[in-house]
Amino acid sequence: MRGSLQWVLVRAPAPVACMSFALLCSGQGHQHPGMFDKLEPDPEAQRVLKDAARALGADVRAWLKGPDDIFGNFRAQPLICVAQLAAWRALRDRLPMPALLAGYSVGELTSYACADALDVRDLCGLAVNRARAMDESARLHPGALLVVDGLRGEELERLGDGLEIWRAIILSETRCIVGGISRDVDRLALAARARGAQVQGLRVRIAAHTPLLSSAVAPFRAALEASNFSAPRIPVMAGVDASMVTRSDDGIELLCRQLTEPIDWSRCLQTIYERGCRVVLELGPGAALARMIHERFPDAQARSLDDFRSVRGAAEWVRSRIA
C-alpha cells in the first residue's frame, strides 16, 4: 500500500472553562433539494446567491430541480460552496466571530471565503476550476474510494501492500477512506471484509486526495494564484496537517496539497478540541461532521444548520451555549 498509515493516540486535554466556537464546512455527498429553504428570507444570503448567479451564469437553486444532477462533481462543488457561504453570511451578524474555521475536502475552500479571503466571484470560479481539474484528472486516471471501518492502520497497510491505493481521509484510529485504481480498491475491499472489517464503496470515480489526481494540481494552482486570494481574517485549519492558516500563500499551497495528499480529519478534530472549541456549528449540507465531533468528544456540543428550522434558531443555539 502506497503511503504509510500511522496513527497517533492523543489524550484529550482537561475541560476548559471558556467556551470557544468553531465553524465547519461540510464536504460532498449530502446535497438535498431543500438546502436553500431556510436561507430564502435572509437578505445577506440572497446577495450571495445573486452574486453567485452572475459569476456562474446560472442560479444554483435551479440545479436542485434535477436532484440527480447535483451529485456530479462539476455542479456539486460550486453548489456546496455557494450554499455554505450564503449560510454563513446569514449567520455572521448574529454570532460572535468563530475561533477557527475548518472544512472537509471542498468545504476547506469555502472556509476561506467565510474567513473573507475570497469573495463570491472568486469562490465560484475556484470551485468550478477545482471540479474541472479533478474531473479531467480522473478521466486520465479513473479511480475509486472505499470506506474501511474496523482495521487499525498497520493491518490495513499490510493488506494494501503492492496495491495502487493510498489513504485519502483519516477519520479515526480504525476508520478511514482509501482511494486508488478501481481494481485494487476492489481487492482491498475483499481482503478487509475477510478480516472482519466493514467496507462501503462510495459512488465516485475520482480517487480524491491521492496521487492519482496529480495532474489536477497545476491548473488549480494557476486558478488560485490568478484569484484575489487574501489573508483570512479568521484562522482556517488545513485538512492535510491541521495547521492554522493565516497567510494567503500558505492557504494556496495547502489547498493544492489537499488534492493529492490525505486529509487527516481525525487530527483536525483533535486540534479543534485542543484549541478549546466546545461549541461547533456545521454549515451543511448534512450533519456528518457534527456527529463525528459528538461521538469523539461527548462534552462538546455540535450541531448542523440542517438540524434547525431557521437560521435564527441556529444562531440562538450557538449564543446560548457559549454564553
With respect to residue 90, please indicate whether it lies within any of the assigned structural domains.
yes
pLDDT bin (cut points 50, 70, 90) of residue 225 is: very high
With H, G, I as helix, E, B as strand and everything else as coil, classify residue 26.
coil
Rounded alpha-carbon distances, angstroms, from residue 4 to 26, 145, 155, 165, 284: 26, 17, 11, 11, 31
Q: Same domain, yes or no, for 227 and 277?
A: yes
- At 195-210, the pLDDT tens digits run 999 999 987 789 999 9
State the Cα–Cα distance between residues 123 and 117, nearest whole angstrom: 9
User: Are 50 and 112 in a shared domain?
Assistant: yes
pLDDT at site 43: 97
3-class DSSP state for residue 201? strand
CATH number at residue 153: 3.30.70.250
Q: What percent of the chain has pLDDT over 90?
A: 85
Spatial separation of the C-alpha atoms in residues 298 and 200, rounded to whole Å: 26
Q: What is the pLDDT of residues 24-45, one digit of tens each?
A: 999 998 888 899 999 999 999 9
pLDDT of 8 strictly over 70: no
Q: Given pLDDT bands bounded at 50, 70 and 90, which one contains residue 67?
A: low
Q: Which of 191, 211, 40 is nearest to 141 (CA)?
A: 211
Question: Residue 97 belongs to a domain with what CATH number?
Answer: 3.40.366.10
Contact 101, 22 (CB under 8 A): yes
Give per-residue pLDDT as tens, 290-323.
Answer: 999 999 999 999 999 999 999 999 999 999 999 8
The reply to whether 131 and 232 lie within a common domain is yes
Digit-coded pLDDT (tens) for 236-284: 999 999 999 999 999 999 999 999 999 999 999 999 999 999 999 999 9
pLDDT at 171: 97
Query: Is 10 a member of any domain?
Result: no
- The answer to whether residue 297 sits within a structural domain is yes
Query: Does residue 272 share a domain with residue 216?
Result: yes
Q: Is there a single domain that holds both residue 238 and residue 307?
A: yes
Helices 248-260, 120-140: crossing angle, 10 deg rounding:
30
**Closest to 25 (Cα-Cα) out of 120, 105, 137:** 105
Q: Which of 179, 201, 223 is the last residue of a domain?
A: 201
157, 175, 201 — which closes off a domain?
Answer: 201
Average pLDDT over residues 63-85: 87
Residues 42 and 57 grouped into a single domain: yes
Domain-embedded: residue 323: no
Average pLDDT over the chain, rounded to an integer: 92
Could you give the CA distance from residue 167 to residue 57 in angstroms, rounded to a whole number?
36
Residue 5 has a pLDDT of 46
**pLDDT value for 10:** 42
CA dist 179 to 75, 96, 236, 282, 295, Å?
Answer: 22, 38, 25, 25, 25
Task: State the Cα torsion 167-176-216-74 to the nearest 10°.
Answer: 160
Is the predicted pLDDT of residue 116 greater than 90, yes or no? yes
- ∠28-34-40 over CA atoms, to 5°? 115
Indicate if 154 and 102 belong to the same structural domain: no
Split at pLDDT 50, 70, 90, the class of 3 is low
Q: Which of 201, 223, 244 is the last residue of a domain?
A: 201
Please tell me whether residues 66 and 175 are part of one structural domain.
no
- Strands (DSSP E) along 32-130, which ranges? 100-103
Q: Are residues 70 and 134 in the same domain?
A: yes
Q: Does one domain contain both 93 and 166?
A: no
Identify the domain containing residue 120 by its residue range: 20-139+212-318
**Sequence-separated (6 or more) residues with CB below 8 Å from residue 154:** 5
* Tally of domains within the chain: 2
The grid coordinates listed for 320 are 446560548
Do residues 102 and 153 both lie within one domain?
no
3-state helix, strand, coil in the chain (%, to 5): 50, 15, 35
Using 50, 70 and 90 to split pLDDT, how confident is the model at 11? very low
11 in a domain, yes or no? no
Rounded Cα distance, 284 and 318, in Å: 15
Please indicate, yes or no, if residue 4 is contained in any of the structural domains.
no
| pLDDT at residue 44, rounded to an integer | 98
Q: pTM above the 0.85 mark?
A: yes
Does residue 270 sit within a domain? yes
Average pLDDT for 52-65: 94
> Does residue 9 lie in a domain region?
no
List of residues 6+ apart from 130 with CB closer than 8 A:
77, 106, 109, 216, 220, 223, 259
Identify whether residues 247 and 309 lie together within a single domain. yes
High-pLDDT (> 70) share of the chain, %:
93
Residue 210, pLDDT score:
97
